[in-house]
Amino acid sequence: MAVGTLSYPQVLCYHRIGGPLELGVTRVGRSVFARQMTALARAGWRTVTLDEFAAATPHAARRTFLLSFDDGYAHLAEHAYPVLADLGFTATTFLVTDYVGKTNTWDVRYTWNRLRHLGWTTIEQWRARGFDFASHGATHRRLTWVDDGAVASELTRSRELLTARLGPDAGRAVAYPFGAVDERVARAASAAGYELGFGGVKGNQTALQLSRVPVYFWDLGDVPFGLRDDALGGLGRIVANMANRCAVGTSILQELGLGTRDSEATTLGPNPEPRGPKQRTAPLPESAADA
């Protein structure tokens, strides 16, 4: 990035680590994940907290990156966070706030398993160890396709719950479901109080339209494509962008209210949340290639 412009560290985005196999592409095996993180640590890479990320400087330190997880599956606390803690790494997890502590049915088509989401108690424990948590919307709707009221509701409701549970810092950042953001959505995120907004592979690098590189199951090398500056890294980012765009199919299903059974999220865990008003549309199957 040119001297004189703000330069944010690179951002990697994972979804699921370990746990049951699935038909989609967003699951990365625990051993692959551990190998990638270990290789990065040995090569001198260091993760940044959301605070450090936000304090972008004209010259971002080399070999630093923001490690992020979308959706907040419970498997993260079993398969990913301990690996990171051992290496002195941290991560930011973007939560679908209506589903914290619950199991829902929306991934069944891909995994044949009902996946549990992290609960507040686990979130608070890892937060105390320096891990950050932020918003991935209230119900995982594709914000570029819904009206202004729905955009504001998704962003505001999610942020209010996060700040009420975890304090003001948890209201700083949002990762848009499916990486879908445009000027209108970015303005709404700013109006809702977010300082940072993360989209897909192609962002304009303004604070509310930052880019991230998703890591899919085929990204098996020691250094994920998103952190490589060679030709292979460039190719990997192009493929990730295409896969990201292909997630459009599940968005259509979600907006039509298809492809999901009625939202019967089962309350689990030691810290159950009361159910809000019944959602007409359930969060979407995290499609083959959501970011």
Query: Applying CB under 5 A, which residues contact Zn ion?
Result: 70-71, 290
Tell me the helices (H) and strands (E) count for the chain, helix number first. 10, 12
Q: Which is nearer to Zn ion, 68 or 90 (CB)?
A: 68
263-277 burial: b if 16+ Cβ within 10 Å, else e: bebeeebeeebeeee
Amino acid, res. 217: F
Q: Which is nearer to Zn ion, 219 or 290 (CB)?
A: 290
The nearest distance, CB 156 to Zn ion, in angstroms, is 19
Distance from C-alpha of 43 to C-alpha of 48, rounded to nearest angstrom: 16
Q: Which is nearer to Zn ion, 71 or 107 (CB)?
A: 71
- State the greatest distance between any 2 C-alpha atoms of the chain, in Å, as a whole number: 51
The nearest distance, CB 198 to Zn ion, in angstroms, is 11
Structure tokens belonging to residue 264: 């019967």
The nearest distance, CB 108 to Zn ion, in angstroms, is 16
Give the helix ranges, DSSP H, for the chain.
30-42, 50-54, 75, 81-87, 108-111, 120-128, 148-166, 183-192, 231-246, 248-256
Phi-psi label, residue 219: left if phi above 0, alpha if psi -120 to 50, beta otherwise = beta
Comparing CA positions, the residue from 182, 174, 127 lying closest to residue 154 is: 174
Q: Which is nearer to Zn ion, 71 or 219 (CB)?
A: 71
Q: Which is nearer to Zn ion, 39 or 150 (CB)?
A: 150
Distance from C-alpha of 213 to C-alpha of 232, rounded to nearest angstrom: 14
The nearest distance, CB 151 to Zn ion, in angstroms, is 16
Nearest residue to Zn ion on Cβ basis: 70
Q: Which is nearer to Zn ion, 71 or 273 (CB)?
A: 71
Distance from C-alpha of 288 to C-alpha of 47, rounded to nearest angstrom: 27
The nearest distance, CB 177 to Zn ion, in angstroms, is 5
The nearest distance, CB 290 to Zn ion, in angstroms, is 5
The nearest distance, CB 105 to Zn ion, in angstroms, is 16
Going by the DSSP 8-state scheme, the letter that residue 278 receives in this structure is P
Q: Which is nearer to Zn ion, 107 or 290 (CB)?
A: 290
